[in-house]
Amino acid sequence: MGKAYLVLMGILLCSKLYESASNSLWRWKCNQSAGACTRVSGDVDATLYPSLETCRLVCGTAGGLWPQPTVGTVLSDGLFQFSLSSLKFEFASEDNDVTTYLKEIADLFNKTLSSISASNCSNTDNTVTISIVVLTNNMDLNWKTDEGYNLEILTAGKENSVKISANTIFGARHALETVSQLIELFSNNNGEVCHVIVDEAKISDAPNYNHRGLLLDTARNFLSISSIKKHVDGMAHSKLNVLHWHITDSQSFPLELPTLPNMTKYGAYSDSKIYHPTDIAELISYAKLRGVRIIIEIDAPSHAGNGWQWGPDAGLGDLSVCINQQPWRSFCIQPPCGQLNPVNSNLYKVLKDLYSDVINMLPKGEVFHMGGDEVYIPCWNSTPEIIAYLGDKPRTTETFLDLWSDYQAQALEAFDSAVGNTNTPIILWTSHLTEVSVIEKYLSKTRYVIQTWVPAADTLPQNLLDLGYQIIASTKDTWYLDHGFWGNTVYHNWRVVYNNKIPTASGTLGGEVCMWGELVDDSSVESRVWPRAAAAAERLWSNPKTNADQAERRFYRHRERLVSRGINAEALTPRWCYQNEGEC
């Protein structure tokens, strides 16, 4: 497919575009070498587009695609007009499950396009056929899933064909996401609104990292299932693939456990602020259809208070200590306090039940996040039961780290006993246990993946990689989306998020942006996360050598796309700057 030919096609079709532009004063001109769409007042010129959105489809190497494809991208600058009613799908798979999945993502694709509502388009002579070939029957989404795809668009006369091939359904899903970004609305000269698709394209694409995540915290403040679904939508549109669900913390325990009903009885904020197992199942299936897996974190032994009060009444003793204790500054880092009681053997029986209940909600073999951050020694060191247990041992930091690692070993044993094998990967946050000098003593590198939450300048992630650990990076001073609203933290705008680079060594599974929940709930969480999480999405998918300045036009477009797809992504710039690329 020669570029000269494409340009010719482009001019040909663009001249048709101009005729059919609306009555507005403005047109857009693509300067291909600068990759910029410039707003001009409407002189007759065959190279003009009727809207910024149609110009952006084809202007610059990656047009309006987000994240930018990694292996190769060729886009024509011509557009093909069609009606949604004349778009059809073809699937080539012998496998029923695969075909069912493909039908469902095709339905979602149609729904997404219908939501950017074309009205009364009568052009049904032009047809678009999307054919999808999936080469394996693998339905699992994990760190080894091949999410790559190839995509080709060709136009012959009145027939536009989109050919997708991928090794897995997830690659095919990403391809459809890309196709949806090659389509825009278009007002034609009959006063109708139709869709247009880029008429020729060839894209080969695969992610740089297999773990591309967003952390949501539903313990500081509850998030409704419908709010969480909105985030999954945004992730799907940006090709993020892991929702890390920090579901409990010392403030609340909103996860209903069939075996342990006391956890929500004591720990939920109210009867309406509970996640039932049916909610979890529904969400997991909702997310899978959108290329997203859900990893559950039950943070422990610290960050565990409310929900755990019922031990004494049940004759099990204190399962957690320092719960809601005051003055909190003496017993924890953030109120309310609460830290599991590692010396109560009943705790591990309860943990086994807890893990069992959670595992039953998850796909077989799914990894599990055990938290493990911010154990606060003064709590344990002021608890008589623990002091008695330690007996003559000196109550030094090392003694308490040993106690903590004992807890971790017994918790892991409880987990393994619940799951019935010893090979589920476990994720832990960096902590005193993961310091380079001690981690090999405490945590097996074949069993634990370490999630780092240190500033960009900290060498810990690289040091852990050097020791042979696998890591997930959540760079604290760039990817913590709660910053800027408390203490001395500063807000990380999308450029800071985008420019954050994480280690490229193969032990780096990927990274996560973190939406800690102290200061967000349903009212504002959507615009706090979006579109900034999408900036991290391109870093994790494409990991370009360039920085935010080079991504600005596509990112501005992607923000508008998220909004048009129902996500309250916050504004990035005055609209004039969006409409006048490169002028601000």
Min. distance of Cβ 170 from a second copy in angstroms?
Answer: 29
Non-local (6+) Cβ contacts of 94 within 8 A are none
Is 316 a binding residue for a second copy by CB under 8 A? The answer is: no
User: By CB under 8 A, which span of 116-124, 173-181, 226-234, 519-527 interacts with a second copy?
Assistant: 519-527
Min. distance of Cβ 386 from a second copy in angstroms?
Answer: 24
User: By CB under 8 A, which span of 84-92, 364-372, 466-474, 480-488 interacts with a second copy?
Assistant: 480-488
Min. distance of Cβ 500 from a second copy in angstroms?
Answer: 18
- Contact code string over 257-286 relative to a second copy, x by CB under 8 A: --------xx--xxx-x-------------
User: By CB under 8 A, which span of 116-124, 373-381, 414-422, 513-521 interacts with a second copy?
Assistant: 513-521
How many of the chain's residues bind a second copy (CB under 8 A)?
A: 49
Is 119 a binding residue for a second copy by CB under 8 A? The answer is: no
Beta bridge partners of 27: 40
d(CA 217, CA 223): 8
User: By CB under 8 A, which span of 129-137, 166-174, 383-391, 575-583 interacts with a second copy?
Assistant: 575-583
Select which of 90, 104, 374, 413 is catalytic: 374
What single-letter amino acid sits at 263? M
Place of tokens 């795809």: 149
Among 154, 438, 454, 577, indicate the residue that binds a second copy (CB under 8 A).
577
User: By CB under 8 A, which span of 383-391, 440-448, 502-510, 561-569 interacts with a second copy?
Assistant: 561-569
Q: Secondary structure of 382-426 in the HEC alphabet?
A: CCHHHHHHHCCCCCCHHHHHHHHHHHHHHHHHHHHHHHCCCCCCE
Among 196, 321, 551, 572, indicate the residue that binds a second copy (CB under 8 A).
572
Q: Could you say which residues in the range 8-37 bind a second copy, by CB under 8 A? A: 24-25
Are 195 and 185 in contact, with CB atoms under 8 Å apart?
Answer: yes
Non-local (6+) Cβ contacts of 566 within 8 A are 115, 230, 233
Are 293 and 280 in contact, with CB atoms under 8 Å apart?
Answer: no
Min. distance of Cβ 10 from a second copy in angstroms?
Answer: 25
Min. distance of Cβ 273 from a second copy in angstroms?
Answer: 8
Among 326, 330, 422, 546, indicate the residue that binds a second copy (CB under 8 A).
326
Is 116 a binding residue for a second copy by CB under 8 A? The answer is: no
Min. distance of Cβ 295 from a second copy in angstroms?
Answer: 22
Q: Could you say which residues in the range 336-355 bind a second copy, by CB under 8 A? A: 336
Is 584 a binding residue for a second copy by CB under 8 A? The answer is: yes
**Angle, CA of 81, 108 and 141, to the nearest 5°:** 125
**Annotation marks residue 374 as catalytic:** yes
Q: Secondary structure of 439-499 in the HEC alphabet?
A: HHHHCCCCCEEEEECCCCCCCHHHHHHHHCCEEEECCHHHHECCCCCCCCCCCCCHHHHHH
DSSP per position, 214-263? EEEE-SSS---HHHHHHHHHHHHHHT--EEEEE---SS---B--TT-THH
Is 580 a binding residue for a second copy by CB under 8 A? The answer is: yes
What separation in angstroms does the CA of 239 have from each of 397, 471, 516? 43, 20, 21
Is 574 a binding residue for a second copy by CB under 8 A? The answer is: yes
What single-letter amino acid sits at 306? N
DSSP per position, 481-544? TTTTSSTT-----HHHHHH-----STTEEEEEEEE--TT-STTTHHHHHTTHHHHHHHHHHT--
Q: Could you say which residues in the range 214-243 bind a second copy, by CB under 8 A? A: 220-222
Q: Which residues are catalytic?
A: 374
The contact set with a second copy (CB under 8 A) reads 24-25, 220-222, 251-252, 265-266, 269-271, 273, 306, 324, 326, 328, 335-336, 484-486, 490-491, 493, 517-521, 523-524, 526-527, 563, 568-577, 579-580, 583-584
